[in-house]
Structure 1
C-alpha cells in the first residue's frame, strides 16, 4: 500500500512529477512520447518511469514494440486528488509539454 511519505518523495523530482501529470492528462504515454514532450533524454526518462513504477504510481503495458505507462488503477483516492490539484497548479507547464507532444512526428499509435 502506498504511503503518503513514499508518494511525495517519489513525486518530489520535477521530471517524475511532470511525467506523471502528463500521463494523467493523456491517459497513457510511451517513453518516446515523454522524451519529446519533456525534452529530455531517453535514459533519464526511463529511469524516472522505473522509479514511478516501483512506487506503484504508474503501471506499464507492452503492446508490440512499445511500452505504455498509465496511472495505476490501484492508486488511492487521496493520491488521485493530489494529482488533480497538481495538474491545475501546473497548467501552463503542461500546456507546453502537450504542444511538444502534438508536434511529435511519427508518434506511436496507442490504440
Structure 2
C-alpha cells in the first residue's frame, strides 16, 4: 500500500513527500506519509486523487478530514496515515520533526 500512496502522490505532483515508518514507534499505523501541495486547490486535488486510487486498488473508503478547506488534509487508510499540507501549514505544524525527535531519542537510548 505504501508504494501505491507514494506513486499516487507523485502522479499528482505532490511536493516534498516524506514517508515515516511507524511500525516500531506507534500502534496508530505502519506508515505516515507527509506531502505538500502548492495551493488549497492543489492540496484538495492531490487528496482526491489519492482517495480514488486507494478505492480503485481495493483498500476501501479511507477516512478523510479537511478536504473542503484544503489547508491540511488527513487521510486515514488504516495502515497508512497521509497528511497533505499547504507549505505554510506544514512548516507551522512540523510533524516530521516531531517523529524525527522520537527516532533520535530511541537511538540515544540504545
TM-score (normalizing by structure 2) = 0.35
Write 1 or 2 for the structure with the bigger share of helix.
1
Write 1 or 2 for the structure with the bigger share of strand.
2
TM-score (normalizing by structure 1) = 0.35
Larger Rg: 2
**Greater length-normalized contact order (CA 8 Å, ≥ 6 residues apart):** 1
